Structures are given as C-alpha cells and as structure tokens.
Amino acid sequence: MALIECRQLTRTYRRGNEEITPLRDLDLDIESGGFVALMGPSGSGKTTLLNLLAGIDRPTAGTLSVAGKPVHNLPRRALANWRSAHVGYIFQLYNLIPVLTAYENVELPLLLQSLSRSERHDRVATALEAVGIEDRHEHYPRQLSGGQEQRVAIARAIVTEPTILLADEPTGDLDRQSATSVMELLAQLNSEQGRTIVMVTHDPRTTEWADTVLHLEKGRLVEQAVGSERP
Ligand SMILES: Nc1ncnc2c1ncn2[C@@H]1O[C@H](COP(=O)(O)OP(=O)(O)OP(=O)(O)O)[C@@H](O)[C@H]1O
Ligand SMILES: [Mg+2]
C-alpha cells in the first residue's frame, strides 16, 4: 500500500457563474520515503494538489488516503488535528511570523500538541540544529537572510515529526547557493529521517534531488524517471 493514495481526485473552484477544474480524476500513489518533484506550467494545479494533500483544502470529488486513513471526508476539526499531526508545509515565501523569533516560529506548531515546555524546547532545539540554525534562536525573521528564513521555515515544518513534508517552490525565492543548500537539507531529511517529500518546483535543476518527477498538465499527470530528459 502506498503512503499517499489519490483516486479520481477532483477539485472544482466556482466564482460566480464560472467554474474551473484544475484537477480532474487524478490518480496518484506516493510511496513512503519517496521524494517527488511536481512540475508543470503556471495554473496547472500544482498548489491545488499540494493543498489537498496537506488537508488545507478539500476535494470536490474523489478520495485521498494517507497511511490507509481516508482524509477527504474528515470533518473540519478532525482534519485540522490530522494536519497538525501528519503534515509539514514549506511555503515559497517562508511565511514566518515577523514578531516571533526563529525559536518561537518553530515552537508554534508544537503549541497545538500536548507537550511539556521542556519537551517542546528539546524538539525546537533539535529541529533548528537539523537545519543548521542553532546560533540564531533569538533572531527575528527580518534579521535573517532569505536562505536562513527558509531553513527556519523548514525547521517549523519538521518539528512535529510529520508523516509527509510538502513544499511549494521552496527554492523559488533563493539565490543558487542558498537553493542548493536548501535542496541538500531536504534530501538529507528524506534519506536520513525517511521523510516523504512532495515538492513543487519550476526549476529543473532541483529535480536531481528527487527520485520521481511528475509533470502536471491540464489535470493529467505524466510520470518520468529522473534523468530521462537529460542529454
Ligand atoms: N481559491 C480559488 N478560487 C478560484 N480559482 C482558484 C483558486 N485557487 C486556484 N484557482 C485556480 O485554479 C487553477 C490552478 O491554480 P494553482 O494555484 O493550483 O496553479 P499552480 O500550478 O500552483 O500555478 P503556479 O505555478 O503559478 O503557482 C488556476 O487557474 C487558478 O486561478
Ligand atoms: Mg502554485
């Protein structure tokens, strides 16, 4: 059984009389421990799919199971609890909270869980160390470089030890060197901690760290082995 199973997953957006269906009847299996890169033109539904996998949004039709548990039909509160336990989400623009320090930003998702203060402290310190930010605990986001902000955002996404790590263009706003170091970090979380990763990317260079590259086009997925497009 695959860790993530999508069957005929469909999402339709309605605005007035207009209907858009960026995802239609999508079938997708992602194995535990996989590192999937998701590519496709702007507007092809990549973020829509990621948001469904994250339980941030719900499908209009079809089913989504993670680790054998149906997620698509969970009531709102149960879905929020499921998300808090199983999903780490990394955004393109980090989305750190400006008035909180690096430490407090990473601690935030743990406040939804029943952990003691000292357990929280250990988890936050471990996550910040894993991303190489152990010496910036008291810094605010504006006092960090873009690459460091993204590392803090990754620490925030992994601090809950999620089942799946979702990333929407995690290197989209970074220079080449910071992008490479963020990709190496994701690859390490995948290979050493066994985190299953689904990453949206526009940059073909970032796909060399993935084991599967999926192309989304007009609601259809085309799977390719890594390297098959290279000369
Ligand atoms: N909340 C919404 N309401 C209405 N339409 C939406 C909504 N969210 C997305 N869409 C539409 O769904 C389509 C897919 O959007 P999506 O954000 O998934 O694209 P994407 O592949 O992530 O694109 P990009 O590479 O530009 O980020 C677009 O046509 C978009 O306008
Ligand atoms: Mg997008």
Q: Whose CA is nearest to atom 31 of ligand 1?
A: 43
CATH code (residue 74): 3.40.50.300
Is the confidence at residue 230, as pLDDT, over 50?
no
Going by C-alpha positions, the residue among 111, 121, 188, 194 that lies closest to residue 151 is 188
Q: Is residue 172 part of a domain?
A: yes
Distance CA 23, CA 13 (A): 10
Q: Is residue 231 part of a domain?
A: no
Q: Is residue 58 part of a domain?
A: yes
Distance CA 87, CA 51 (A): 11
Per-residue pLDDT, 94: 82
Q: Is residue 70 part of a domain?
A: yes
Cβ atoms within 10 Å, residue 161: 13
pLDDT digits (tens, 9 = 90+) for 18-38: 999 999 999 999 999 999 999
* Residue 224 pLDDT class (50, 70, 90 cuts): low
Report pTM. Answer: 0.91
Q: For residue 10, report the distance from its CA to the centre of ligand 1, in Å.
A: 13
Q: Is residue 150 part of a domain?
A: yes
- In which residue are the tokens 């969970």 written? 74
Q: What percent of the chain has pLDDT over 90?
A: 82
pLDDT digits (tens, 9 = 90+) for 53-70: 999 999 999 999 999 999
- Ligand 1 atom at minimum distance from 45 CA: 18
Token pair in block for residue 79: 């879905």
Question: Structurally, how many domains does the chain consist of?
Answer: 1
CA 138 to chain centre: 25
Helical H runs in the chain? Answer: 46-54, 76-86, 102-107, 117-130, 146-158, 176-193
Q: Is residue 230 part of a domain?
A: no
Q: Whose CA is nearest to atom 26 of ligand 1?
A: 42
Which ligand neighbours the alpha carbon of 57 most closely?
Answer: 1
Per-residue pLDDT, 154: 94
- Where in the sequence is the domain holding 176, given as residue range(s)? 4-225
Q: Is residue 161 part of a domain?
A: yes
Per-residue pLDDT, 231: 40
pLDDT digits (tens, 9 = 90+) for 71-128: 999 999 999 999 999 999 998 888 999 999 999 999 999 998 889 999 999 999 999 9
Length of the chain: 231
Residue 113 three-state SS: coil
CA angle 30, 181, 108 (to 5 degrees): 70
